[in-house]
Amino acid sequence: MSHLWRYLLRENPMQIETTRAIRRFTVSGDYTATTQRTITRILFGLLYVLYAWFLVTIVMYKDDMSQGILWFEFGLLTLLIPGSLYTAISGERERMTWDSLILTNLSPSRILAGKLLWRLSLAGIIMLIFLPPLLLTHCTSHYNKSYALPALLWIQFLLAAWCVFLATFTVYISANTKRSVATLSIVTLSLLFTLVLLPMLMSVFGVSMTSDSAFTQGYTYGYENTRPPTAWIVSSLIAHLNPALVILWMENSSQTMISSDMWRDSGIFLIAPFLYLIGAGLCVAGTLKALARLGMPMQATRKEKGG
């Protein structure tokens, strides 16, 4: 274990990525692109403002804001992780640094670990930053609490698992595309599709679009008496693994509500984080394979020829 720690993290030359990232965000000087720095600063400024607003509202109005905070956190992480990772491999190839990198014989696992480390650490830091307001709002709210404390903590686990999945998924796509624009498009489109479009489609075709029942209820609408088609079942399952919806369903109020949705009633969303982690494992395996192939262009083409 300690060997692995040293090999992948402490003595991994790829840690240089972390140094570079920290510099990009912190050091000022004429060597960094100024526009990039300005944009980063504006974004961070906005985040500060929002964060302050969360705190002020919590203290002043004693409302339970946890759902808002959780959704915001989820949205932020979902933008940030692909945004910082999509150039991980395809970008190296574009900037023509890849050949030099593979000639050093750094192992795919070291490359991957170096790429993931600071991005996931950043995600972890963001989650830590949002933990105090979450707990504060949980403890100070006057009225009904949105979440039970265990549910709140479980959602933290859900988000962490989501981050790991998203990061590994982005690297996987990055390792399998030639251009980083392609990486970004594929990742964005698949996220848009699974997180937004699919639930919308499901609700359009399966749900009476009344009040707040959209997305949340009756995915089996119209199939009450017959077995729904398999494609239907799969897509509604995927739609049910959407972290934003899981956050919604974990609410106290929504748990007492009666729904006609088979997935929700079965509580399937409780295994969502584990499914994310399994997905992450598959993405890691796929990425390591792709990196090995990219690192050995000779043998890769040999196999292609043979097969």
Partner 1 sequence: MQPMISAENLRKTYGTLVAVEGWTLDLYPGDIFGFIGPNGAGKTTTIKMLATLIQPTSGSATVNGIDVVRFPREVRPYIGYMPDAFGVYDDIKVWEYLDFFCAAYDPPKESRPEIIERVLTVTDLMEKRDAYVQTLSRGMQQRLCLAKCLVHDPKVLLLDEPASGLDPRARIDIKKLIARLGALGKTIIVSSHILPELADFCNKIGIQERGKLLVSGDVETIVRQLQPTRQLMISVRNDDSAVTRLLETLRDHPLIEKVTRDTDTPYTVRVAFTGNVEQQAILLRSLIAEEHPLTSFAESAMDLEDVFLRVTTGKVH
Q: Does residue 9 bind partner 1 (CB under 8 A)?
A: no
- Distance between CA atoms of 56 and 300, rounded to whole angstroms? 57
**Residues 103 to 132: which contact partner 1 by CB under 8 A?**
103-106
Question: With DSSP H G I counted as helix, E B as strand and the rest as coil, what are the percentages for the chain, rounded to 5?
Answer: 75, 0, 25
CA 20 to chain centre: 22
- Distance between CA atoms of 147 and 153, rounded to whole angstroms? 10
CA distances from 148 to 139, 262, 276 (A): 11, 23, 23
State the DSSP code for 178.
S
Nearer to partner 1, 6 or 62 (CB): 6
- Distance between CA atoms of 291 and 46, rounded to whole angstroms? 37
Q: Which stretch binds partner 1 (CB under 8 A): 77-85, 94-102, 121-129, 201-209?
A: 94-102
- What is the phi/psi pair of residue 139, to 5°? -80, -30
How many residues of this chain interact with partner 1, rule: CB under 8 A?
26
Residue with tokens 């088979």: 262
Q: Which of 19, 121, 252, 266 binds partner 1 (CB under 8 A)?
A: 19
- Distance between CA atoms of 67 and 290, rounded to whole angstroms? 39
Nearer to partner 1, 30 or 150 (CB): 30
- Distance between CA atoms of 57 and 50, rounded to whole angstroms? 10
Q: Which of 4, 5, 13, 121 binds partner 1 (CB under 8 A)?
A: 13
Q: Does residue 16 bind partner 1 (CB under 8 A)?
A: yes
**Residues 177 to 196: which contact partner 1 by CB under 8 A?**
none
Nearer to partner 1, 31 or 143 (CB): 31
Q: Does residue 306 bind partner 1 (CB under 8 A)?
A: no
Nearer to partner 1, 24 or 289 (CB): 24
Q: Which stretch binds partner 1 (CB under 8 A): 53-61, 75-83, 144-152, 293-301?
A: 293-301
Q: Which of 6, 41, 95, 179 binds partner 1 (CB under 8 A)?
A: 95
Q: List contacts with partner 1 (CB under 8 A).
A: 11, 13, 16, 19-20, 23-24, 31-32, 95-97, 99-100, 102-106, 296-302
